[in-house]
């Protein structure tokens, strides 16, 4: 009897340790991650540092902000534009694009590669809350472009109804800096 009690106790202790360990692992997986990539564009350009919040919804679906270089000249255009099923006015995601105003050929320099891919590093500009998106919606996205950094962080989004794939709003915190915003490695 004592042996059965001891075996049951050991089994329950092991199960408890498993669930506690799984809970910690699950918390680590759901914690906001930092995703980093370098743009295909690498050069000496610095910008005037700034931070702002972009709010988009179906009534105001596109956000535009000009970004100045350190000489005070308009150099880039940040656009956050809606995406959805073709032929439909519903929004399933937003996409951030940074265009170089001096080189019209580059309509989005937030790409790690000019070749389309499903690699998360090449999709940091896609603000997609769906479960199968290459980058989780809660991730802080940091992209090094030329000699500055662009940080995109979705602060809030809302679907109506809640279980719908269609978005009715999104708030994105955007930061442009000349220094690496990534936290130091431990």
The helix (H) or strand (E) run that includes residue 144 is strand 140-145
Distance CA 145, CA 150 (A): 7
Per-residue pLDDT of the chain (186 residues; tens, 9 = 90+): 444 444 444 443 444 444 444 433 443 445 469 999 999 999 999 999 999 999 999 999 999 999 999 999 999 999 999 998 887 789 999 999 999 999 888 889 999 998 888 899 999 999 999 988 999 999 999 999 999 999 999 999 999 888 888 999 999 999 999 999 998 877
Q: Do residues 170 and 56 touch, judged by C-beta distance below 8 A?
A: yes
The helix (H) or strand (E) run that includes residue 37 is strand 34-38
Q: Can you tell me whether residue 166 is helix, strand or coil?
A: coil
């Amino acid at each position: 009897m004592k042996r059965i009690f001891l075996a049951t106790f050991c089994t329950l202790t092991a199960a408890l340790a498993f669930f506690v360990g799984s809970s910690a692992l699950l918390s680590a997986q759901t914690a906001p991650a930092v995703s980093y990539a370098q743009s295909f564009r690498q050069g000496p350009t610095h910008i005037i540092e700034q931070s702002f919040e972009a709010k988009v919804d179906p009534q105001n679906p596109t956000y535009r902000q000009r970004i100045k270089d350190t000489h005070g000249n308009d150099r880039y255009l940040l656009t956050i534009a809606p995406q959805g099923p073709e032929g439909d006015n519903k929004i399933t995601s937003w996409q951030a694009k940074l265009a170089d105003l001096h080189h019209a050929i580059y309509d989005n320099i937030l790409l790690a590669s000019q070749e389309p891919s499903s690699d998360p590093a090449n999709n940091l500009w896609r603000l997609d809350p769906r479960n199968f998106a290459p980058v989780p919606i809660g991730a802080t996205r940091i992209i090094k472009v030329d000699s500055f950094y662009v940080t995109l962080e979705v602060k809030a989004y809302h679907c109506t109804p809640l279980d719908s794939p269609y978005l009715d709003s999104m708030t994105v915190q955007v930061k442009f800096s000349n220094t690496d915003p990534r936290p130091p490695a431990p």
